[in-house]
Amino acid sequence: MKNNMAKIYVATCSFCFISNRNCLKSWFLHREWLMFELSARLLKASHGEVLAFFGDV
């Protein structure tokens, strides 16, 4: 009985670890995607500002 409880405990812990790791991975991917979106928008804005500046000159 004690051995079965240990197996169940290990299985539960490993399942929680794997699901948490997937959750963390998706969170990191989401955060990187957000950073990519922000940098892309910044680049577009700065590019537009540079074009406007040279257009004025």
pLDDT in tens, 15-37: 767 777 777 677 777 788 778 88
User: Taking the CA of residue 46 as centre, how many other CA atoms within 13 Å lie in the half-sphere pointing to its CB?
Assistant: 6
Three-point CA angle 18, 23, 36, nearest 5°: 135
pLDDT score at 50: 67
Q: How far is CA 27 from the centre of its chain?
A: 4
- 47 pLDDT band, cuts 50/70/90, is low
pLDDT score at 30: 78
Q: Where are the domains of the chain?
A: 1-56
CA pair distance 12, 5, nearest whole angstrom? 10
What six digits make up the tokens of 18?
Answer: 């794997």
pLDDT in tens, 2-15: 678 778 778 776 77
**pTM reported for the whole predicted model:** 0.38
